[in-house]
Amino acid sequence: METDEAGLSTGASLRSIVSTVDSEPILVAVEVPSVGDERHKQWAKVVHDVDATKTSGWAFEGDFIAVGGVQDVPANSVVLVYGEKGSRANPQIEARVFVANADGTLSFQTSAKGRAWARTLRDSVEDLLATIEARPIEQVGWAPDLMRYTDEALRQELERRDGASTE
């Protein structure tokens, strides 16, 4: 395989010319869905870890975020959304697990219903966190693809990133 003066393969794709971001997390704006009925309990959480000794919602360790709106979350993070519907005396519980993608979308992973929702999801979320940890976020350097964006769009992105790093 031939290499250029930088030591890169001359046939290297853009994907192979990346650097992994290990310091500050890359935040993406995602629309956190509502689950259940807004008159009942609803919450969402960015899950960082799972406590395998617990079988309730407290097994999922992380930061709470608002439901039903746009929230800034780390790319490749696991988002757990919980909601209830039905009567107060007999609520129907549903929980959904998503992964926040770098493009600002959420990918549905799994869900559970009923009072055993937390135990049902616990092992799946733990496996998902391990998979994501093994697959770090990659950041691409300068590329001709950036030419398709306007100067104003690039300026706005730089301002957004500068604002996120100073908070």
Confidence at residue 1, expressed as pLDDT on a 0 to 100 scale: 40
Confidence at residue 18, expressed as pLDDT on a 0 to 100 scale: 35
Give me 69's structure tokens.
């709106």
Residue type, 79: V
Confidence at residue 10, expressed as pLDDT on a 0 to 100 scale: 39
Give me 143's structure tokens.
């590329």
The DSSP symbol for 104 reads S
Confidence at residue 13, expressed as pLDDT on a 0 to 100 scale: 33
Confidence at residue 55, expressed as pLDDT on a 0 to 100 scale: 92
Domain map (residue ranges) of the chain: 25-141
Q: What is the pTM of this model?
A: 0.69
Average pLDDT of adjacent 10-residue blocks, the chain of 167 residues = 42 34 77 91 96 94 95 95 92 95 93 96 96 74 75 86 62
Residues 79 and 97 sit within 8 Å (Cβ to Cβ): yes
Task: Return contacts of 107-110, CB within 8 angstroms, 24+ apart.
Answer: 109/78
3-class secondary-structure state, position 138: strand
Number of neighbouring beta carbons within 10 Å of residue 40: 15
Confidence at residue 165, expressed as pLDDT on a 0 to 100 scale: 52
